Amino acid sequence: MFIRIVMIAALALVLAPAVTVHAANKEVDRAKGAYQLAQDADARDAALAALVATEHEEAVEFIVARIAREEDDIRRNEFITALSQFSASKPVKALLKAAESVDSEGDHQLTHHQCDLLTALALSRKSDVAERGLRKLLEDQRLKPWTTLALVEAIRAADVVDPGAGRRFSTEVRALLAKKQARRLELEIVTLNVLACLKQLTPKDTPEERNATVRAIVDWQAWSHNTQPRLQDMADRVLSHLTGETCTLNDETLNFWRWWLANSPDGADQPKPQARRTATLFEQPSFGDHIVFVIDVSDSMKYDVTDEGRAAIRKKTEHLDWTRIKSKLDLARQELIHSINQLNPGKDAQDSQRPRFAIVAYSDRVFTRTNGWLIADDDGCKSGVAIAEKLEIKFTTNIHDGLAQAFEIHDGGNKAAHPDTDQGCVLSGAHTIVFLTDGYATANDDKKLVEPANILASIRRLNRFRKVVINTVGIGNYDKQLMTDLATDSGGEPTDWYFKENVDEKKGNFGPAVGR
């Protein structure tokens, strides 16, 4: 996307001198017609640059209307890039008005469109009008939660694309954690996104900025008395990233963090409270306390773990009974059973303190094996183990739909029309997804969703506001690049159980080549 910004900006600069005020309407019509007739990316770029060069409100309205109904991520990014290049007062004010008028509170799906428009404004470094407008929105305590959500994610996303573009707003984003902003933080996902945004915006090698963010998070804990595991884990991630400390953040550890602020980075040693207990699932720590396990049961999972694979993976999984493991599905099943039991905090825990988990199996079709969440108590874990024991081999590998199903699980069941913004999914959906496969995507009713780039783009959009951590597990010869991208893009980690497999046994489910 950054390359698009440079290309469209350069074209706009070349074209701008040719456009006069009197010719603007005619130039807009000409550029609109050129875009509608464009057959390739270069022609679209040229037409968008011509629209930007007019610096006219009608050009903004045309692009805003196009972006609202665009489903292709590449084209949507082209529109965002073009909108970010307007610099004159009138078109930028028109873009601000368009962003503010989106009713994301009434229709949560519109949060995506609102976020796209706000991202363009956050990328607009040439416009003082855009910067002042965004600061005003950030400071407006009356701004509703879903608009605040779109705004914060837009600033984070802009900084990812163009480092420094979002950092201009660090002070205002930190201020969102203040007690006076409590109404805007009533929706837990807003706080989650504020914390994620601060992780992106705050340079850990700039003590003043780093300490200001640490102080804002510590002060937020002091007034909110947060006990939500997902928010606690996100705060811990930000603090660990900025300070290198592994101490969890809760009411009992506030004194430690206040000490850290007073003495960092060269203060005397201070006894540190222990980090919060998190379960280790398929080698990686869980995030939050709502976990979905997504297990590949495609035909290739029936093949044996080779001697080479057993030797390598056994070193990482000494807790497993390897006398019960022959096939890749056996390995997945035994690690799943171990992980389920790891979630159980013991008999003394209250139900409210216990993690929730669900199990999804997928091949060419998706099979949700739990009805909503199971509670990680003795009975719930026993039910989960029974499900794991009964996992059966099916057919080919539908990676996208298996992963997408995990986003639909919530307190009300396993289905949601729009899991990216559905209120039930947002409030009670997955915090961590553990996604396991042994191959490459080979099946989907939508052929585009067999392509790794399209899978990644679709899941990224599903997770835009949810901030679910996806930890991936690859067994044997699998699409390592896709699994790595899915994990790192979400703040998760990939587990690599690669081993070379017998090519003669493969039936087209393992990609174009054997090996890494």
Residue pLDDT, tens place only, 475-513: 999 999 999 999 999 999 999 999 999 754 444 444 543
Distances (CA, A) of 452 to 438, 459, 511: 15, 11, 11
SS3 content of the chain, % helix, strand, coil (to 5): 55, 10, 35
| Cross-strand bridge partners of residue 475 | 497
pLDDT for 187 = 92
Min mean pLDDT across 6-10, 243-247, 321-325 is at: 6-10
DSSP 410: B
Task: Write down the pLDDT at residue 510.
Answer: 46
The average pLDDT across 389-400 equals 96
**Do residues 82 and 35 touch, judged by C-beta distance below 8 A?**
no
What's the whole-model pTM score? 0.91
Three-state secondary-structure class, residue 105: coil
- Mean predicted confidence (pLDDT) in 137-149: 96
Confidence (pLDDT) at 266: 47
Q: What is the mean pLDDT of residues 81-91?
A: 97
In this prediction, residue 478 carries a pLDDT of 97
Question: CA 150, CA 302: separation in Å to the nearest integer?
Answer: 44
Q: pLDDT grade, residue 353 (50/70/90)?
A: confident
